[in-house]
Amino acid sequence: MEFQIFEEICIIIGLSILILSICHKFEFPPIIGFFITGMLIGPYGIGIIDGTQELEIYSEIGIIFLLFTIGVELSLKELWEIKKSVLLGGAFQILFSTIFVLFICTQLGFELSTSIFIGFLLSLSSTAIVLGILQEKAELYSPHGRTSLSMLIFQDIVVVPMILITPLLAGASEDLTGSLLSLLLKGGAIILLVLLSARYLVPQLLYQAAKSHSRETFLLTVLFICLATATLTAAAGLSLALGAFLAGLIISESEYSHQALGNIIPFRDIFLSFFFVSIGMLLDIRYLLSEPFNIFLIAGGVILLKTFSGTFATLLLGYPLRTTLLTGFALSQVGEFSFVLSKFGMQYGLLNTGIYQVFLAVSVISMGAAPFILNFSPKAVDFLLKKTSNPKLLGGLSSTSLPTGIEEENQLEAHLIILGFGFNGRTVARVAKAAKIPYIVLEMNPEVVSCEKKKGESIIYGDGTFLPVLEHAGVKRARVLVIGISDPVATRKIVELAKRLNPRLYIIARTRFLQEMDPLYKLGADEVIPEEYETSVEIFVRLLNRYMVPKNEIEAFVSEIRADGYEMLRELSANGSNFKLIDELPGMDIHVLKTKSGSPLEGRTLADMDLRKEHGVTVLAIRRGKEIIHNPEGNTLIRAEDVCVLFGEPHYLYNVREYFEPKNELEQKKKS
């Protein structure tokens, strides 16, 4: 009997490996694999495991570590300096989702407290799924990727106050005012303790642990801080999860945060997998199969509702319609933190078994649909944009009024258009300004546009996929268009539209991956710069320099690579190269020696010593303080403390060392 838990863990891990392999093949997120594992082995499936108390404990540890890592990654400083758009966008999205759900649930006859709580549950989206897919599609730094990330960060933060509000919604205390006051006092005391600990206590603890040079000591210290803070908040009547989050914030303020995070992540992933498996075990498959139409109808309604709330919230921030719709689709699923919150709802009686089963089924369906929705969303958005003709809606609330089909007051001629004002866009703008090239920048972030306009930058707000915006930038009169955004779909649309408006326009597009090159060339791009391969080019240029390949051969090789669209890089391993690497210089070496005071070299010239003829050694350079003397001539005087770079055969270099040492030391060595 005492080995039962180990048998169950073996079953969970073994079956998870099999199911995760299948999910990976069909590009399902790992969370779905854990859900399926739980459904199969749980009491409502095959019944191999009946749901033990130990598994619930492991799940709770997974939640603690999840919130702890969120706290470490955010940090108090980042929370304090968080941008206004993040706070507003996240708050709008949570507010709209909760209000919509509240209205629907009250119309269906649910109690007010339960309706609000269900609104909380459905307002959260999956950080793990969304960020994973956006990273895979190279869209994390696109406009919709950035806005999605901002709202997800806000959701990760707001789940903590949601946990605190849950007991109040359940009426756990008859004296609501007293409970709220008590909660505020406890919260204030704990925040004060967190600030003091982050400033004085925790850095010392971590310093002493790191000073021991023991990995085990450091790991145990991090675990102690996490679990002790969680226990403290639980003892104060708050939640373990909140304590873990605060512990993460404490550690985030120290210089050891990255090491702490690296130590905890493996534990988090292991225990969190048990959490998702336990959720799957709670889902009654028979209940799902008994009313599949209603369950899928509710799931579809939730996806539409969340898409609308995310879209509306982003629209209020002033972003163009394309960005707002893509953000809405990205946030259309229920999140993993909803499961964390639902546990508290069951604990305080806000959810009954029937509602909980519907919530679990709808959540799993929405998460399973997320990869397909995110992959299909660009086509759906393009279709919707074609049905919309309102320039203000298409361009965003922050856009200026652009007359359709008419070029604006911008009268630049043969100018440069820079699309996107990230790192690449700023660099191009600086170069254009230095070279006196007239240019105009198109940017979709309203805050960036407002800030740069105050600095006198030639920048306008707008989405380059929108024809009036390109006309406003004078695309028909422009000479060059540089596209520096991180959205491959939008880049293709801009290239096609710009070339159609101005066939003579020279288009330079940046892309992250090589496979984007051919489609962009076919659409009319004149040059496509793939970051993936430019990084490789820079690496092997430095490598070849290290192996002393002649510079003219390196430059010719790089030009050849770029000229054929990087085709050579893909064939390099098979066909070899046209030059031969030099393994440094065989039989030769370079030594650096310092001239000591009183040495035979001090006060003499290189011609006096004649190191090359007499000793087979050449002086390549001399460093004298901050000055570097390259290729020193024969009349160069050697002084004490000069650092000489010598070239020659190893045995000659070894023999010449004695001339750099003081004479008295040399005499003593000879006597001994």
**Does the structure show a pLDDT above 70 at 28?**
yes
How many residues are there in the chain?
672
By three-state DSSP, how is residue 494 classified? helix
Determine the residue type at 311: T
H or E element in which residue 643 lies: strand 643-648
pLDDT-above-70 percentage for the chain: 82
Give the confidence band of 1 by pLDDT, cuts at 50, 70, 90. Answer: very low
DSSP string, 155-199: HHHHHHHHHHHHHHHTT-SS-HHHHHHHHHHHHHHHHHHHHHIII
pLDDT at position 226 is: 86
Q: CATH number of the domain at 4-48+56-171+257-379, please?
A: 1.20.1530.20
3-state DSSP helix/strand/coil percent for the chain, to nearest 5?
65, 10, 25
For 332-373, write each residue's pLDDT tens digit.
999 878 888 888 888 888 988 888 889 988 988 888 888 889
Helix axes 4-25, 30-41, angle to 10 degrees: 130
CA 641 centroid distance within chain = 49
| Integer Cα distance of 269 and 284 in angstroms | 25
Within a 10 A sphere around the Cβ of 140, how many other Cβ atoms? 18
Tell me: the pLDDT tens digits for 419-468? Answer: 988 878 888 898 888 888 899 999 887 778 878 888 888 888 888 888 88
Rg (CA), the chain: 33
User: What is the CATH code of the structural domain delimited by 395-525?
Assistant: 3.40.50.720
> For residue 460, what is the enclosing H or E element?
strand 459-461
Q: Model confidence over 106-140: pLDDT tens digits?
A: 998 898 999 999 999 999 998 777 876 786 777 77
Q: What is the pLDDT of residue 529?
A: 84
Confidence category of residue 404, pLDDT binned at 50, 70, 90: very low
pLDDT cut 90: percent of the chain above it: 14
Q: Where are the alpha helices (DSSP H) in 474-586?
A: 488-501, 517-523, 531-546, 551-563, 567-575
Kindly give the interhelix angle for 257-282 and 4-25, rounded to the nearest 10 degrees. 90
Report the distance separating Cα 487 and Cα 236, nearest Å.
47
CB contact set of 279 (below 8 Å; sequence gap of 6+): 34, 35, 38, 339, 360
Q: What is the mean pLDDT of residues 173-201?
A: 68
> Is the Cβ–Cβ distance between 171 and 350 less than 8 Å?
no
DSSP H or E segment with residue 218: helix 215-235
Q: Where are the domains of the chain?
A: 4-48+56-171+257-379, 395-525, 533-575, 589-671
* pLDDT(82) > 90: no
Distance CA 296, CA 174 (A): 38
Locate all alpha helices (DSSP H) within 236-291, ordered by sequence. 240-252, 257-282, 285-290
| pLDDT for the residue 97 | 93
Structure-block tokens of residue 153: 């960060």
Burial of 7 (0-12, 13-18, 19+ CB in 10 A): exposed
CA-angle at 373, arms to 372 and 376, nearest 5° = 85
Phi, psi of 417 (to 5 degrees): -110, 125
* Neighbouring-strand partners of residue 483: 419, 509
Whole-prediction pTM value? Answer: 0.65
Question: Which pLDDT score is estimated for 149?
Answer: 78
Query: Could you give the C-alpha distances from 423 to 395, 443, 459, 508, 558, in angstroms and in order?
Result: 23, 12, 15, 16, 24
Q: What is the pLDDT of residues 38-68, one digit of tens each?
A: 888 888 778 777 655 666 676 677 778 777 8
Q: How many CB atoms lie within 10 A of CB 134?
A: 20
Give me the torsion for CA of 184, 187, 192, 193, rounded to 10°: 150
pLDDT band with cut points at 50, 70 and 90 for residue 310: very high
Correct CATH for 589-671 of 3.30.930.10, 2.60.40.10, 3.30.70.1450, 3.40.50.1820? 3.30.70.1450
Computed over every residue of the chain, the mean pLDDT equals 80
**Kind and range of the H or E run holding 144:** helix 143-169
pLDDT at 401: 43
- Give ∠ CA 162-353-52 in degrees, rounded to 5: 90
| 3-class DSSP assignment, residue 569 | helix
How far is the first Cα of the chain from the last one, in angstroms, to the nearest whole number?
A: 78
* φ, ψ for residue 283, nearest 5 deg: -80, 120
* Per-residue pLDDT reduced to its tens digit, 592-633: 888 888 888 888 888 888 888 888 899 988 988 888 888 888
The pLDDT score that the predictor gives to residue 305 is 94
- Residue predicted with more confidence, 574 or 615: 615
| The amino acid at 510 | R
Fold match, 4-48+56-171+257-379 / 589-671: no
Question: How confident is residue 408, by pLDDT bands cut at 50, 70 and 90?
Answer: very low
Per-residue pLDDT reduced to its tens digit, 220-238: 888 888 888 888 877 776 6
CB 151 within 8 A of CB 324: no
Please report the pLDDT score of residue 573 as a whole number.
41
Q: What is the pLDDT of residues 501-532, one digit of tens each?
A: 999 999 999 887 777 788 888 888 988 888 76
Give residue for tokens 């590009």: 27
Per-residue confidence (pLDDT) for residue 328, from 0 to 100: 93
Q: What is the spatial distance between Cα 338 and Cα 159, in angstroms, rounded to a whole number?
A: 8
- Find which of 94-108, 258-272, 454-468, 530-544 is predicted with most confidence, using mean pLDDT: 94-108
